[in-house]
Amino acid sequence: MLKFIIRFLKALNSNQHPGEIAHAVCLGMILGFMPKTNALWYILTVFFLFMRINKGTFALSTILFSLLAPALDPLFDTIGWWFLTLDKLAPAFTWLLDIPFVGFTKFNNTIVCGSLLFSLMCYIPVYFIARLIIKLWRTKLSYAIRKSKLIIFLSKLPLIKKIGAMV
């Protein structure tokens, strides 16, 4: 976990493109909200790992959004139920379930479907919010935090010096 946090902080303070970090947050949101007990989660994970994103931010945001997901499960269930019961899509869902191994993705689970749809709807707003936060961090917050008395005090502690040497 510490390794992911260090990678995230390195990415925030480095010259890495903000879009890579923001996409990592959004893709972590998709995986974090989705239940981990289906093949779709594993397929998306492998696919996302081949994308050019910051992997530390991706892992950290997946963990953080996973902690938030249980509170949003009733919302995901409602969205999934609405989408899966659309009469016009019933033939498509039936056709998909007839394809071998597609059932392992559990796309017909209301929480899986609802969390995926919710994440896709939130992708663009979360992307722009993440870009804004990265810009604020790089221009204003980073300098102010580094010069704060607490950070100066903590940086003098031997354990923190060892962690700082890892960076």
**pLDDT tens digits along 52-97:** 888 888 999 999 999 999 999 999 999 999 999 999 999 998 898 8
For residue 24, what pLDDT is reported? Answer: 93
pLDDT at residue 107, rounded to an integer: 87
pLDDT in tens, 97-144: 888 888 888 888 999 999 999 999 999 999 999 999 988 887 877 777
pLDDT (0 to 100) of residue 122:
96
| Cα(27)–Cα(34) distance, integer angstroms | 11
Provide DSSP, the chain: -HHHHHHHHHHHHSS--HHHHHHHHHHHHHHHHS-SSSHHHHHHHHHHHTSSS-HHHHHHHHHHHHHHHHHHHHHHHHHHHHHHT-GGGHHHHHHHHHSTTGGGGTTTSHHHHHHHHHHHHHHHHHHHHHHHHHHHIIIIIHHHHHTSHHHHHHHTSHHHHHHHHH-
pLDDT tens sequence across 42-54? 999 999 999 988 8
Could you tell me the pLDDT band of residue 17, with boundaries at 50, 70 and 90?
confident
Residues 79/48, Cβ–Cβ less than 8 Å: no
